[in-house]
Amino acid sequence: MNGDWLIRGRDGRLSVYLPTDDAVLCRAERGPGGPWAPARRIGGDQELLPSQAVGHGPNAYAHLVSWRPTVPGESGLVHCTHFRPRLAALDWSPVGHPNKKGERTGTPAVAVDAEGRAHVFVRNKGGGVSMIAQKEKGGWEPWRDLKGREVREDLAAVTGESGRVELYAAVPGGILHWRQTEPGAQPALEEAMEAPVRPGTLRALATSPESTTLYYTDDAGDLCAWRPGGKPVVLLPSAGPGPVAAIRCELDGHDCTLLAQRSASGRVAFAAYPTEQESAGAWWTESGPQLPSDADVSLAADEEERVVAATLSASTGQLLLTRRKDEPGLALEAWREV
């Protein structure tokens, strides 16, 4: 699942989105901090292809996007809105194909702007990026070609504190950055930075009213942070092979960025540092049991603004959860299966 698949809903309940080979399942708390309900298929019975994306905005609605088979040898993108974890989601509805028709072209990414409009990004057949966005009063704008060349499969979409949408994409030897100049505008390609980027390691986070920060792993295995307009900074060696999960939170009265990643040892590694102050340094601390090699990590804040970490293994379906304790530092409760 591309995006933060652990989400706090409008009613304060946490929910997780679980991709399967042909569907997306949702599990949600029965009440804030309470027991979890069984998994439910969302969006109806429509068959989906692997590689879904999820995004959510200030209204806390979840927007999910996936590919579905259409006719033999062709696929199309579909979108679903989930307003509250304990309610049924809307049915999947078609939003088309970046090249009008054809096979799946890449993993989509979703960001939701300040007005609650979903922006869907996906690599197109020519190797660039295409986008489709919801209209303010319903329906969808036409597909737009955002250009770019040799874009890799993974995209990182993010909404800044300004409510404007941004997109990062990896290309051979570099990173591309698109940004809306004003709400509702088509994101423009603003910067191309040379950097050796490992595929599948992009993660973006809003870190100030003016900036978003992109995290990625370089070819040397270091986790780097980059804010457009500046130079990338090596933060610390990557704990493991995949992307990090990232969230801003308050730790001991300070605005901090918390990172989490499945480590090479199989456990979850956490690192925190003052937001946008990479020079302060960071180091990994491991937590929890050993996880399967396909386990993913996600971070969210619960109704009491406590950090919650979840891990999910696609092969076993095992969902583990921990919360930050109400004490100084980053002390966590014991991991538990839900």
pLDDT (tens digit, 9 = 90+) per residue, 186-223?
999 999 999 999 999 999 999 999 999 999 999 999 99
pLDDT of residue 154: 84
Please name the residue that has the structure tokens 């619960």.
302
Q: Distance between CA 32 and CA 166 in Å, rounded?
A: 31
Determine the pLDDT at residue 242. 87
Res 58: pLDDT: 86
**pLDDT at residue 233 greater than cutoff 90:** yes
Mean pLDDT of 111-129: 96
According to the model, what pLDDT value does residue 317 have?
Answer: 84
Q: How far apart are CA 222 and CA 218, in angstroms?
A: 6
pLDDT beyond 90 at 32: no
Using the predicted structure, report yes or no on whether residue 176 has a pLDDT greater than 90: yes
Residue type at 115 in one-letter notation: E
**By the 8 A CB rule, do 159 and 167 touch?**
no
Q: Across the chain, what does the average pLDDT equal?
A: 95
pLDDT for 33 equals 85
Q: What are the residue ranges spanned by the domains of the chain?
A: 6-245, 246-338
Q: 288, 299, 275: which is closest to 334 by C-alpha?
A: 288
Neighbours of 283 (CB within 10 A): 12
- pLDDT (tens digit per residue) in 49-74: 988 999 998 889 999 999 999 999 99
Domain 6-245, second-level architecture:
6 Propeller (2.120)
pTM over 0.85: yes
Q: What is the dihedral of CA 205, 276, 264, 305, to 10 degrees?
A: -60
Pick the closest to residue 234 from 243, 242, 244, 223 (CA basis): 223
Question: Which residues are 19's β-sheet partners?
Answer: 24
